[in-house]
Amino acid sequence: MTDEHTADRDELALGRIETEVALLMRFGEATRRGTGTTEHRLLDRAAYVILRHLASVGPQNVSALAAKLNLDGSTVTRQVSAMQRDGLIARTPDPTDGRGTVISPTPAGLQRMAAVQAARTRLYGDILAAWSPDDRDSLAALLHRLNQALESRSRPR
């Protein structure tokens, strides 16, 4: 195989990847909006992502949360304030900085997050029912690699 052939093949693959990721985002959003079950609507997307992260790593201050999610601090502050009003998170004094607070999920927040996660897992189980367990494992591994690469790319350099 020549270097030119390899470059052409790689360019074609990258174009297909771009198309498939664009379609994935569009169909994913359409699926989320079109799903009729209540569980899918218990949390908006931002609250779900924040609660999943906090459940995974534990309490964090807004700055750390914003950095992890690659969002502006003021955006996260607004989202967290709305979540606090809804009883999904609690703020407590930051043990490392007496002036700040840390955010942690409430039992109600964790319960809603678990309901949404279970509903999404069932949905993907239905969508991927015809796929073999090996294909599902491969998809999970490749999506994880893609998300890691996207996360690394989005960090400030």
CATH number where 139 lies: 1.10.10.10
What pLDDT does 107 receive?
A: 97
Q: Specify whether 64 is located in the same domain as 128.
A: yes
Same domain? 56 vs 23: no
Same-domain check for residues 8 and 81: no
Percent of the chain past pLDDT 90, that is, above it, reads: 52
pLDDT in tens, 51-101: 999 999 999 999 899 988 888 888 899 999 999 999 999 999 888 877 888
- Residues with Cβ within 8 Å of 131's Cβ and at least 6 positions away in sequence, in order, are 139
Q: How confident is residue 4, by pLDDT bands cut at 50, 70 and 90?
A: confident
Residues 20, 60: one domain?
Answer: no
Are 87 and 115 in a shared domain? yes
pLDDT of residue 138: 96
Q: Using an 8 Å Cβ cutoff, are 80 and 50 in contact?
A: yes
d(C-alpha 85, C-alpha 54), whole Å:
17
**Domain total for the chain?**
2
Q: Tell me, yes or no, whether 89 and 106 share the same domain.
A: yes
Are 30 and 73 in the same domain?
no
pLDDT at residue 40, as a whole number: 63
- Average pLDDT value over all residues in the chain: 88
Q: What is the pTM of this model?
A: 0.81
Same domain, 88 and 54: yes
Q: Are residues 87 and 103 in the same domain?
A: yes
Nearest to 55 by CA among 108, 125, 5, 93: 108
- Please say whether the beta carbons of 55 and 110 come within 8 A: yes
